[in-house]
């Protein structure tokens, strides 16, 4: 059964906490062939200020999440996932936007990530945010085996990236 479309007005981002893990894992198992485990999420959350993990909630339902790690001056987007029935509604944009802002606030000057070569929707999203392909990790993904595109966004602490984020800021219209 398809979910009702989420209005971005109804979507809130919150710091991920242990109580969110069951719902995050449900999404993780829907969207990734090799999902993260509870233990991996817990170890990431335990790293505190060296990580940012957010959840997106529509009403009381967790519909997405994303994370970043910091090895300053770089930040790495570790994961972004949206429940399939809520995809293509701007929730991924909302999460990536918040993670980019958090990385800049932490002192990052560059952002990186990996993405499956076949994941065209994600590649388009990342390009909108200024990420550019910088290389390929052959056989990076398994189930099925697939290469990863390594993408970077540089000078994220500069005026041009700030203007890009302002332009991409999710529009939350009042109802």
Active site residues: 114, 126
Q: How far apart are CA 117 and CA 133, in angstroms?
A: 10
CA neighbor of 165 nearest in space, from 175, 151, 155: 155
Q: Which two three-digit tokens encode residue 149?
A: 């595109």
Q: Provide the 3-class DSSP secondary structure of residue 104.
A: helix
Helix (H) or strand (E) holding 5: none
Q: How far apart are CA 96 and CA 77, in angstroms?
A: 8
């Amino acid at each position: 059964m398809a979910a009702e479309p989420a209005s971005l007005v109804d979507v809130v981002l919150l710091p991920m906490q242990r109580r969110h893990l069951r719902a995050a894992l449900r999404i993780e198992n829907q969207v990734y062939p090799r999902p993260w485990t509870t233990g991996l999420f817990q170890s990431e959350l335990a790293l505190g200020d060296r990580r940012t993990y957010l959840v997106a909630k529509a009403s009381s339902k967790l519909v997405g999440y994303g994370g970043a790690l910091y090895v300053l001056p770089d930040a790495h987007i570790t994961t972004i996932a949206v429940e399939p029935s809520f995809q293509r509604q701007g929730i991924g944009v909302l999460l990536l936007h918040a993670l980019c802002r958090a990385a800049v606030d932490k002192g990052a000057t560059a952002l990186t990530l990996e993405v499956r070569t076949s994941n065209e929707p994600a590649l388009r999203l990342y390009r909108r945010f200024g990420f550019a392909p910088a290389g390929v990790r052959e056989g990076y993904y398994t189930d099925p085996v697939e290469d990863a595109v390594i993408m970077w966004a540089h000078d994220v602490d500069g005026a041009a990236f700030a203007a890009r984020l302002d332009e991409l800021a999710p529009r939350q219209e009042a109802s």
